[in-house]
Amino acid sequence: MMSNDHILNPETMPQSPEKATLEGKNKFLGLWFFLGGETVLFASLFGTYLSLKNSTAGGPTSEELFGLELVFIMTIMLLTSSLTSVYAMYHMKNNDFKKMQLWLGITGLLGIGFLAMEIYEFAHYITEYGFTFRSSAFGSAFYTLVGFHGGHVTFGILWLITLMIRNAKRGLNLYNAPKFNTFSLYWHFIDVVWVFVFTVVYLMGKVG
Amino acid sequence: MSIAATQKQGFGAVIWDYLTTVDHKKIAHLYTFGGGFFFILGGIEALIIRIQLIKPENDFVSAGFYNEVITMHGTTMIFLAAMPLLLGLMNAAVPLQIGARDVAFPFLNSLGFWLFMFGGILLNCSWFLGGAPDAGWTSYAPLSTTSPGHGVDFYVMGLQIAGAGTLIGGINFLVTIINMRAPGMTYMRMPLFTWATFVTSILILFAFPALTIGLFLLMFDRMFDSAFFDVTLGGNTIIWQHLFWIFGHPEVYILILPVFGLFSDIFSTFSKKRLFGYTAMVFATMLIAFLGFMVWAHHMFTVGLGPVANTIFSIATMAIAVPTGIKIFNWLATMWGGSITINSAMLWSLGFIPSFTVGGMTGVMVATVAADYQYHDTYFVIAHFHYVIVGGTVFGIFAGFHYWWPKMFGRILNETMGKIAFWTFFIGFHLTFFIQHFLGLMGMPRRYWVFLEDQNLDLGNFISTIGAFFMAIGVIVFFINAIYSQVKGEKAPADPWDGRTLEWSIPSPPPYYNFKQLPLTRGLDPLWVEKTEGNGKMTPAEPLGEIHMPNNSFIPFVMSLGLFIAGFGFIYQTDNNAWFIALFGGMAIALGAMIVRSVKDDLGYHISKEELEREADE
Amino acid sequence: MENTNTNKITEYQKQRNKEEMKKQLISFALMIVVTLIAFTIVATGVMEKMFAIPVLLILALIQVAFQYYYFMHMKDKGHEMPSIMIYGGAWAAILTIAGLAVITWW
């Protein structure tokens, strides 16, 4: 039986602090299962998008709208943020809290950059092409799918900021290590979804 | 915090305790009360439907109100009565059956309940705010997108909030069953009800997200003018049907699998025999769940998906009869040669077998594509799904409550009243629904608020309505029984049924920490193993030591309340922008509660060894 | 209160973490390469549509496999249940997408 004091101020850090307590193991499994459910959530959105992507109601088509440059930069940013969160977990396992915070900070900044570019992209479509959420079924499906992903990124950034601020002064322990780990798993999943977004929406949309 | 202390609490303290509890046994009570309340509501709606149809061209209710009543009857019974009552039984039994002190996420367990409760209340607020949803429980677009007023908006927001709660509950049970089993409790030693809960939770995990998205699309179309189902802008209404049934078909297995599990436990307990074909039962459960995901389009045969698609879905549907048949035969074989006790729990279980088999048989009939063009949208379908949902799920819920009531509330339900309730309900059920098969075959369409005279429908509908009143009497007797047992009932011993599984090895009701020492499981039906070897009680797997317990929390209530307020904001912002205050305010409350939860350490507390020893002496 | 137990991690563990990190870097490099190939195929238009779409999807699957197995450690021990649920979710996802993309007509 682990005392509360040991969980908050462990004398030694185990190799996998995120799974050292029962609560940690539970969080780990719970988040994975949540991601399993999220897979179906996004599948429903992708399916809807695929069945409506040609329903432009006379508006611009995906080939006319999408540009590859911005999407490429966004992809690289999110991919890199996935790597930086791997670095953060690497430092967590080495029990190097400061470096972990640093890499998490970079992850968050890349996420914010990604989000800013997405907002720019949406604004561009609306002002340049008059292509909105309401203009056609294609518009609704596009903004909903990509927007749901963007919403997940936003939530992830808020989560990350809360975690970083809350634990800035007290360092790593067996209570917060599972929290950092679940965040990083969630963040990787956002990247997984983005891989399908850029493939199915942008690349396949550009091919026709 | 001992049991004696809890009993002396004042009324206010009890209420506060239930508002903040994270104890799975109390959450089971909450689910039971909440689900029971909505079950009565849904039952009243059912009676209104049947009274309206007692004679040709009746004018008991108006056509518009009739639409609201049928919609709310279906929605309430499925989402707000059957599922919560099942979740209540799961909460009551599963942690005890695997020898755990609580669920994996006690906080989320509480959050799941409050989300369900506030979602249900939000949905039912519609009655007082300009009319309930009236597009059917399936809410097909474009009927649902063009339905005037706010009825369907309440449907969307209520189900969205309640559905999130169910998803949380599903993940919680999965992790609980994987991580919290007591020493020796391997997967293949778990009681069938635990197995069924596990498989059901997987179904919840993969089915509910499709509903979430479907509801979002409907919400965007209704509240924010998007064009998913607007054909003039290229929308496609079939998307709703797909999403709804990708969720909806697994949903019926979510309703039936848990009761398959609890019937298995009941049959083996009251036959004094090990369950026949345990392994086959486990794999049949998994197979039903697996196939259950590939059959959703059998609800859409008449949409015109084409002969190839229809055939595939038809064959997959019929395949489900195979694992279900395995289960029926295994239950019969369990009873074969057993020393059978017939009490109320057993009566409901015995009544289930023929009733559910009829429903299964008509299921194969409606799965036949060519014939389904005749059955579709007639009373034949109504008869079919009431035979499986009432004859299966509702019978199972009653059986489960008779079986676990002593463990949940410390009292044994009265047998005489239990038998009266069963026989009136059983007779009423068959009177109500058996005749509906023939009404359907004669061409009576579902959802019509009147039928004409002299079309050979008069007598059948009259009998059906009389049957509904018998069912109502049965339910009322059960509720009287529940209250009576609390006041005057027999105090339950730890093991009233000469049980086989771990929940019967601890007092009724169990102490708040469940097991003083975690039990050591040495085989399937662990308590029975100890009984046959002459020990009579479980061997502890650990020395007496400190027990870690989670803290109570008010945050789940606040979070759900926030979403409830935000729900009103979403619904009414289309009328007046001032409602954005409710929308953002409610969201801020929910998000704020989340941040508080995240920032505040909640490590729980420990019950000391000394305190446990003191309680043993009392 | 700051933890001061940074040095309590053994050298052996550090070495192992380092080797693990090397694998992560390699998988990142491969993911970038896969992304570049995918974008190049579309930007240059070297492929027919009928050929390009399956290739793009396969490239996406490869990249996602790296993400799951290396970045999210699904290859490690103790990930049996997560794998089951991810594959279960993927199966339900395929059925959903097939239903919506293939048999939603009008």
β-pairing, B547-549 vs B605-607, is antiparallel
How close, in Å, is residue B47 to chain A by CA atoms? 37
> Within an 8 Å CB–CB cutoff, is residue A168 touching chain B?
no
Predicted local confidence at residue B16, as pLDDT: 95
Residue among C28, C59, C85 minimizing CB distance to A33? C85
Q: Give the C-side interface with B, CB within 8 Å.
A: 81, 85, 88-89, 91-92, 95-96, 99-100, 103-106
Token code pair at residue A54: 């040609």
Kind plus residue range of the DSSP H or E element containing A48:
helix A22-52
Kind plus residue range of the DSSP H or E element containing B547:
strand B547-549
Domain chopping of chain B, boundaries: 3-553+602-617
CB contact under 8 A, C35 and A11: no
DSSP, residue by residue, A101-130: HHHHHHHHHHHHHHHHHHHHHHHHHHHHH-
DSSP, residue by residue, chain C: -----GGGS-HHHHHHHHHHHHHHHHHHHHHHHHHHHHHHHHHHT-S-HHHHHHHHHHHHHHHHHHIIIIIT-TTSTT-HHHHHHHHHHHHHHHHHHHHHHHS---
Cα distances (angstroms) measured from residue B407 to each of A26, A43, B360, B503, C40: 27, 42, 32, 8, 65
Predicted local confidence at residue B4, as pLDDT: 43
Chain A residues touching C35 at Cβ < 8 A? 72, 75-76, 79
CB contact under 8 A, A203 and C38: yes
Chain B residues touching A163 at Cβ < 8 A? 598
- Alpha-carbon gap, residue B558 to B580, rounded angstroms: 19
Kind plus residue range of the DSSP H or E element containing B603:
none
- Alpha-carbon gap, residue B23 to A191, rounded angstroms: 37
Chain C residues touching A172 at Cβ < 8 A? 3
CB contact under 8 A, C100 and B293: no
How close, in Å, is residue A145 to chain C by CA atoms? 13
SS3 labels along B557-585 = HHHHHHHHHHHHHHHHCCCCHHHHHHHHH
C contact residues 83-102, partner A, Cβ 8 Å cutoff: 85-86, 88-90, 92-94, 96-97, 99-101
Cα C87 to the chain's mean position, in Å? 13
Predicted local confidence at residue C6, as pLDDT: 47
Cα distances (angstroms) measured from residue B408 to each of B63, B88, B411, B496, B541: 43, 10, 8, 13, 25
Residue among A40, A56, A138 minimizing CB distance to B206? A40
Question: CA torsion, points B318, B322, B323, B329, in degrees to nearest 10?
Answer: 140
Token code pair at residue B234: 């290229």
Whether B307 and B265 have beta carbons less than 8 Å apart is answered as no
Chain B residues touching C95 at Cβ < 8 A? 246, 293-294
Predicted local confidence at residue B415, as pLDDT: 95
Interface A:C, Cβ pairs < 8 A: 157
Chain C: residue whose CA lies nearest to A12: C8
Which residues lie closer than 8 Å to B466 by C-beta, 6 or more apart? Answer: B431
Classify residue B456 as left (phi > 0), alpha (psi -120 to 50) or beta.
left
> Within an 8 Å CB–CB cutoff, is residue C29 touching chain A?
no
How close, in Å, is residue A66 to chain B by CA atoms? 20
Which residues lie closer than 8 Å to B204 by C-beta, 6 or more apart? Answer: B166, B167, B169, B170, B254
Residue B412 forms beta bridges with which residues?
A: B490
How close, in Å, is residue C87 to chain B by CA atoms? 11
| pTM for this entry | 0.95
CB contact under 8 A, A38 and B216: no
Residue B540 forms beta bridges with which residues?
A: B519
Whether B201 and B175 have beta carbons less than 8 Å apart is answered as no
CB contact under 8 A, C92 and B296: no
Q: Give the B-side interface with C, CB within 8 Å.
A: 174, 178, 202, 205-207, 210, 231, 236-239, 242-243, 246, 293-294, 296-297, 304-306, 309
Whether B463 and B457 have beta carbons less than 8 Å apart is answered as no
Stretches where chain B sits below pLDDT 50 are 1-6
Domain chopping of chain A, boundaries: 28-46+65-207
- Alpha-carbon gap, residue B492 to B344, rounded angstroms: 16
Residue among C42, C49, C86 minimizing CB distance to A35? C86
CB contact under 8 A, B309 and C103: yes
CATH fold of B3-553+602-617, please?
Cytochrome C Oxidase; Chain A (1.20.210)
Give Rg (Cα) of chain B.
24
Which residues lie closer than 8 Å to B26 by C-beta, 6 or more apart? Answer: B17, B18
Predicted local confidence at residue A9, as pLDDT: 82
In the three-class reduction of DSSP (H, G, I as helix; E, B as strand; rest coil), residue B548 is classed as strand
Token pair 């939860």 is found at B597
Whether B123 and B158 have beta carbons less than 8 Å apart is answered as yes
Give per-residue burial for A104-135: e unless 16+ CB within 10 Å, then b: bebbbebbbbbbebbeebbeebeeeeebbbeb
What ipTM was predicted for this assembly?
A: 0.95
CATH fold of A28-46+65-207, please?
Four Helix Bundle (Hemerythrin (Met), subunit A) (1.20.120)
Residue among A13, A40, A170 minimizing CB distance to C89? A40
| Contacts of B441-449 spanning 24+ positions with Cβ under 8 A | B441/B374, B441/B378, B441/B380, B443/B378, B444/B378, B444/B379, B445/B377, B445/B378, B445/B379, B446/B377, B446/B378, B446/B379, B446/B381, B446/B382, B447/B67, B447/B70, B447/B136, B447/B377, B449/B52, B449/B61, B449/B63, B449/B66, B449/B67
Chain A: residue whose CA lies nearest to C56: A199
pLDDT in tens, chain A (208 residues): 567 888 888 877 888 888 889 999 999 999 999 999 999 999 999 999 999 999 999 999 999 999 999 999 999 999 999 999 999 999 999 989 999 999 999 999 999 999 999 999 999 999 999 999 999 999 999 999 999 999 999 999 999 999 999 999 988 999 999 999 999 999 999 999 999 999 999 999 998 7
- Among B238, B295, B313, most C C-beta atoms within 10 A, so best to mutate, is B238
Residue among A7, A47, A136 minimizing CB distance to B234? A136
How close, in Å, is residue A158 to chain B by CA atoms? 10
Predicted local confidence at residue C106, as pLDDT: 55
Please report all neighbours of B, defined by 3+ CB atom pairs within 8 A. A, C
How close, in Å, is residue C72 to chain A by CA atoms? 6
- Among C103, C104, C106, most B C-beta atoms within 10 A, so best to mutate, is C103
Q: Give the mean pLDDT of C80-106.
A: 91
Residue among C92, C103, C106 minimizing CB distance to B293? C92
DSSP B519: B
How close, in Å, is residue C59 to chain B by CA atoms? 26
Kind plus residue range of the DSSP H or E element containing B506:
none
CB contact under 8 A, A52 and B105: no
Whether B447 and B64 have beta carbons less than 8 Å apart is answered as no
